[in-house]
Structure 1
C-alpha cells in the first residue's frame, strides 16, 4: 500500500469524526437559545388575526388604551328550576369579593334571564393588560371565588376565559406532542428496520435536528419578529420528525444497496449520497419553497408558520445529510445487524408487493389511470359536506368551562348577544359615532368605554346571538356605517378570519404551485413529468378534504371547519406529497438514462423505491396523525386531512396512478428533454467484401 493511499484513507476516516465534532460544537452554541423559544411563544388573539383586518387594529389599539387590553369575563349563575333568593345573594356576595380583589373597569351589574333560571354578571378588568400570565391568573382567581353549591352551577366564560382555556391547551401541546411523536416514529422504525440498533440513529438525529430548529426559530424571532405560537411550534416539531425520518429512510436504503457494491463504508456512503442526494435536496427545496409562500398570507398564524416550518425542514435536511452519514460510517456494517449487507452479496430475490402492483398497473395503464381518477373525484365530492365555519364554542374537542358558559347563555338569553362588539373611534368623534352605532339595525345597546391615546372605546351589544347570521349582519352594517372607525371583538375576529383565509387562498395557492413546478422542472428537466406530479397531489388534496367532509360532522361530531384548513392542508400536501413523486421520478429518470425502456424504467423505479416510499409515507402520516390527539378542533382537522392525504398519495397515487401514467405516456413523460426522443438504433459495422 502506497503512502498516498494510506494518507487518503486516514483523511477519510477523520471526516466522520470531524463532522461529529462540528455538530457537538453547534449544539453547544445553540443550547442557550433553544431553551428560550418557549418564552417568546404567544397565543394572543393578535398572533392569529389577519394583519390588516379591523379586528386586529382594534386589539392593538386596546393594548395602548389606559390599563392595556381589557380582559372580558362573564359569570353565569344557573339553576334548572329557577334561581332562589339565596342564589342571588350568593352571586352578589361573590361578585363583591371579586371586585374587592381586582381592579374592574366598571361595577358589575347582574342581568337576569326572562325565565328566571340564569343570572349573568359581565366582569371586565384591565388589570392584566397584555400579560398572558396575569390574564390567566385573573381567570383562575375569579373561578376560585365563583363557586356553586346545592344545585346552583357557576361558570366563568367570556373572551378572557376562552383565551385562558385555549392557552392551557396550547401549553399542553409541547410535551405530549413531542413524546407521542417520538414514540410513534420509534415504533415504526423498529418495524421497518427489524434491527435493535439501526432504528435509534434516525430517531436521535431527528431529535438533534428538532433541538437545533428551536434555537434557529428563536433567532428568527429576535431578528425579524417572526410569530411563534403553539400551533406553529408544534407543526415545526412534526415536520422535523416526519420529513427528517423520510430523508433518513431514503438515505439508509440507498446506503444498504451501496454496501453490497463497495468494500469500505465510506465509499458506500459517498455513492449513496451521490445517488439519493439530489432527490433529497429537491424534496426539501419543494417543502421549503411551498412553506415560504405562506409569507404572502395576510393571516398572522399562517404567515408565521412559513418560516418556522421551513426552519424545521432545513434543519432536518442538514442533520440527515451530515450527522446521520457520519454516525453510519463510524458504526460500519454492524449497525444493520442481524441483516448485515455483505460486500459482493446479492439480496435475496423475492417478489415484492410493489413489483406486483407495478405489474398490474403496467398491464392496463389507461384503465388503472381512469379508475383512480374517478375514485379521487368521487372522494373529493365529500368536501361539499364539510361543516360550516368553526365557532369559538366549537373550537375545543373537550368542552371547557368557558364554552359551557357560552352555551348556557345562548339557551338563557336567546334574544340577545352575551359577547360584546367593540368599536374603536377617534376621540373627537366619539359622540357622533355613539349616536351612529345606536341607529344601526340589530344593535341592542351601546355604551362609551375607555378613552385614551386619541381613541375612544365603545362597547356594543347586538340583538343576535354570538356568531349568528344576525350578529354577522350587524357587524357588517357597523363597518359600513362607521367610516374611520374600527369594529372588533371575538365575533368580528372570526368573521375576519374567514374573509382573510379566502383572500390568502387566492394569493398563496398559485405561488405554491409555481414554486413547486419550477423546482420539479429544474430537477427532472421536463415539463410533462412535473405537471403530472402536481396534478396528482392536487387531486390527493381534494380527496383528503372530501374524506374529512364525510367524517368531521357525522363521525367526530365537529360543529364546524377551521377557516384555514383548506390553505394549510393544500400547502403541506402539495409540498410534502411531491416528495414521494420526486423519489419515484428521479429513480425512473436514472433508469432511463441507463438505457431502460420507459415502461421498464417506471416498473424498476417502483420496485426499488416502493418500499422506501411506503415506509416514509407511513412515518409522515403517523406524525401528523399525532395532532388528532390534541385538544383543539383545528389541529385535529389539519392532522387528519394531511395524514389521510399522505396515505392516499403513498399507496394509490404513487404506486398506481403515477406509474400507470408514466407507462402510458412512455418517453413523452420527459418532454421536451432529451430522454423524450427515441434513441437511434445502433447500426452494425459494415464488413469488408471479400476480394
Structure 2
C-alpha cells in the first residue's frame, strides 16, 4: 500500500483534475437518472399481481383504474358532461361512471341503489379514472385545473404524481440545511478555517460521482433518490476528518508533508477500511430482499460509501497536499473543550448504565417486533396535505373503495356467469362490470359495441372490473383478496389473474414480511465476521453488535409504545441502515480503549477513551441525527418522513449506548477482552497484553 500512496502523492495535481472533471460530468449525468415513485413497481416479477399486470397490458389497452375524482353539486346530465371532459384530458386512458354499470335512462329509483350509490349520491358524482403511468404528473395537473381546487381526487396515480413533484423540492431543501449543519459542525471540531471546506469538497465529489453512476441502474426509487445522498454525506463524513487528524499528527514528527501524508494514509487505512466495510456490508444486506426497493437502495448506498472510501484514499490526500499551506495559515484554537470531566462521569456511572442497558434489551426487542404496519402507499400523505384531505372527503361520502380487475380465459360464458354470481354475494363487492353482467351469457358478442367489447374482451381473456368497498390495505382488504382468489380458483383453477392496488399491497405484505429475518441475520452475521477479523477477537464483536442492535430495537420500540403504525418498508430498511451507519462508533470506541488500556488501568483507559473519541463520534452522529430529523420533519411523504425520523432517532440511541454504555461493558469485561483472545494475537501483541495486565 505504501507504494500506491506514494504514487497518489506524486500525481496529486492530475488526481485533483481527474476527479473534479468526473464529478462535474456525473453531476450533469445525475440529473438524467430516472426516478420511480411507484412502490408497487418493486414487487418481484414473479408475484401474482405483477404477472396479472403484465398479462393485462398484453391483452388490453386500458390499465387498472388508479384515481378517483369526486365532483359535487352536479346532476346526472352534468356528471355525464364531466365524464366526457375527464376522458379528453391528455394522459387519461379511461373513465368509468354509473352509466357503465347500469342503464341510466331508467329512473334512478328503479335501479339497484347499492350500485347507484357507488357512483352517485346527494348530487355528488364519483368517477373512476385510469391514468397512463408515463403521464401521471401532466394528467393529474390537468385534472386539477379541470375540476378546480374545491373538488377532490385521490388514488395511487395522484399520490405518485404529487410525490414526484413535492419530493424533489423537499430533498433540495433538506440538502441545503444538511450542508449548512455539517459546515457548522466541522468549524467547531476542526482547528483550521479551511479544513471544513476541504471535507465538504471531498464529500461533494463523492456524492456527485455516486449520483451520476446511478445511471447504471437505469432508474432508482424515490427512497434512494431522497435518502441516498444525505446518508452518504452523514456516514462518510468521519473518513475525511479522520484522515486530516492523522495527517496533522504525522506532521508533528515528520517535517516532509509528502512522506507525512503517506504515513498518515498507512496508519489510517485499517481503521477507515474496517469502518467503511461494515457500513457497506450493512447496506448490501438489503440486496437480499425480494422486494426490489431493498436492492435498489442497498446497491446505491453501498456504492456511495465505496466511492467515498476511494475519494478519501486518492482525491482527499491530493487535495490536502495542494492546500496544506492555507490550512496552516488559517489555524485557530479548538472550540471544543477537553472532555475529561465527561470521561470521569461516565466511568463513575458505568455499572448502573450497564445494568439499565441489560434490563431494556429484552423488552425493547419484543416491543420492536410487535408494531402495527402499513405495507403500501395508501397512507403516504396525511390529512394536512391536499391529497390527504381529498382522500378523507371522498371516503366520508362514498366510503373506502378500491378497484380490482379479474382476468379469465375467454370462451366459457356459463362459468363466468357463475363466478360473477359468487363474487356478487360478497358484501364487500359493490358492483361488477363485465360482459356477463352487462349483457348476459345469452346475448351474442356481436350485439355489444366495439368500444365496450374491447374493454371487456380480448383475444384470450375476459375482464371483470370489481368495485370493492374496502380500503387499499388492512386486515379486511387482505381477507377480501384471499377470498376473491379462492373463489376464482374454484371456477378457474390456477388459470386466472387478479390485479389492483389492494392486491399489489397484499402481495407486497407477503413479500417483505419474509425478507425481514433473512436481511437482519445476514447483515448481523456479515458485520460480525468483519469485526472478528479486524478486531482479532470473538467476544468484542458480540458486544459491539449487541450494543447497536439494542439501539435499533429501542428505536423501533417507540412506535409500539406510542401506538403509532409504521411503514413496514421503513421498518425493514432502517435495521440495516442503522447497523451499517453507526457500528463505526462502537468500533472506534473499542479500538481506542484497547490502545489506551496498554498505557494504564482500565479506569484510566475508559476516561481517556471518552476524551479521545467523543468529538469524532459526535461529529458523525450529530450529522446523521440532524439530516435524519430534517428528512422526518420536512418530507410531506410520510414514508420518507418516517424513515428520516428512524434514522435521526436511531443515531441518537446509538450515540447514547456507545458513549455511555459501551465503556462500562469494556470496563466490566476488560479481563476477557484483553487476555482471552490469544488465538488472534501475535507474539508481540501477547507480550504487550501481559505487560499491561501485570
Whether these two folds match at TM > 0.5 is: yes
Per-residue deviation, 1:633: 1.0
Aligned: 1:187 with 2:188 = no
Match of 1:109 in 2: 98
Aligned: 1:535 with 2:534 = no
Per-residue deviation, 1:363: 4.2
Match of 2:556 in 1: 545
Per-residue deviation, 1:499: 2.5
Per-residue deviation, 1:615: 1.3
Match of 2:87 in 1: 99
Q: Is the 8 A contact 1:99 1:107 kept in 2?
A: no
Aligned: 1:19 with 2:15 = yes
Counterparts of 1:376-391 in structure 2, within 5 Å, are 383=368, 386-389=371-374
1:519-548 Cα distance to aligned partner (Å, 9 max, x none)? 111100101000100000110001111234
How far, CA to CA, are the matches of 1:645 and 1:119 in structure 2?
47
Q: Is the 8 A contact 2:79 2:125 kept in 1?
A: no
Cα distance change, pair 43–456 in 1 and its aligned pair in 2 (3 A):
farther
Counterparts of 1:470-509 in structure 2, within 5 Å, are 470-483=476-489, 484=494, 485-509=496-520
Cα distance change, pair 265–87 in 1 and its aligned pair in 2 (3 A):
farther
Indicate the SS of the match to 1:76: strand
Per-residue deviation, 1:42: 1.9
**1:44 counterpart (38, 41, 48):** 38
Match of 1:620 in 2: 624
Match of 2:592 in 1: 587
1:542-573 Cα distance to aligned partner (Å, 9 max, x none)? 111123445684xxxxxx31011222110011
Match of 1:410 in 2: 395
Cα distance change, pair 502–100 in 1 and its aligned pair in 2 (3 A):
closer
Q: Is the 8 A contact 2:49 2:503 kept in 1?
A: yes
Match of 2:159 in 1: 162
How far, CA to CA, are the matches of 2:129 and 2:162 in structure 1?
17
How far, CA to CA, are the matches of 2:296 and 2:405 in structure 1?
26
Indicate the SS of the match to 2:356: helix
Between 16-25 and 576-585, report the one with greater CA deviation.
Answer: 16-25
How far, CA to CA, are the matches of 1:505 and 1:253 in structure 2?
39
How far, CA to CA, are the matches of 2:88 and 2:21 in structure 1?
55
Q: Is the 8 A contact 2:628 2:646 kept in 1?
A: no
Counterparts of 1:411-560 in structure 2, within 5 Å, are 411-414=396-399, 417-427=400-410, 432=415, 435-436=418-419, 438-440=421-423, 441-442=426-427, 443-448=429-434, 449-452=455-458, 454-483=460-489, 484=494, 485-550=496-561, 553=564, 560=565
| TM-score (norm: length of structure 2) | 0.82
Cα distance change, pair 400–644 in 1 and its aligned pair in 2 (3 A):
closer
How far, CA to CA, are the matches of 2:226 and 2:408 in structure 1?
38
1:322-359 Cα distance to aligned partner (Å, 9 max, x none)? 22222222222541554369xxxxx99x9733x33333
Q: Is the 8 A contact 1:438 1:446 kept in 2?
A: no
Indicate the SS of the match to 1:239: helix
How far, CA to CA, are the matches of 2:401 and 2:8 in structure 1?
71
Indicate the SS of the match to 1:172: helix
Q: Is the 8 A contact 2:547 2:657 kept in 1?
A: yes
Indicate the SS of the match to 1:52: coil
Cα distance change, pair 430–276 in 1 and its aligned pair in 2 (3 A):
farther
The gaps in structure 1 that reach 5 residues or longer are 1-8, 342-346, 554-559, 683-691
Per-residue deviation, 1:386: 4.8
The gaps in structure 2 that reach 5 residues or longer are 100-115, 435-454
Aligned: 1:56 with 2:50 = yes
Match of 1:138 in 2: 139
Per-residue deviation, 1:233: 1.9
Match of 1:563 in 2: 568
Cα distance change, pair 433–478 in 1 and its aligned pair in 2 (3 A):
farther
How far, CA to CA, are the matches of 1:633 and 1:303 in structure 2?
21
Pairwise CA RMSD: 3.4
Aligned: 1:241 with 2:233 = yes
Cα distance change, pair 195–117 in 1 and its aligned pair in 2 (3 A):
farther
Cα distance change, pair 490–582 in 1 and its aligned pair in 2 (3 A):
same
Q: Is the 8 A contact 1:528 1:669 kept in 2?
A: yes
Match of 2:110 in 1: none
Indicate the SS of the match to 2:466: strand
Indicate the SS of the match to 2:374: coil
Per-residue deviation, 1:105: 3.9
Match of 1:5 in 2: none
**1:258 counterpart (246, 250, 258):** 250
Cα distance change, pair 45–380 in 1 and its aligned pair in 2 (3 A):
closer
How far, CA to CA, are the matches of 1:66 and 1:115 in structure 2?
27
**1:322 counterpart (314, 318, 334):** 314
| TM-score (norm: length of structure 1) | 0.83
Indicate the SS of the match to 2:568: coil
How far, CA to CA, are the matches of 1:209 and 1:250 in structure 2?
16
How far, CA to CA, are the matches of 2:357 and 2:6 in structure 1?
54
Q: Is the 8 A contact 2:574 2:647 kept in 1?
A: yes
Indicate the SS of the match to 1:75: strand
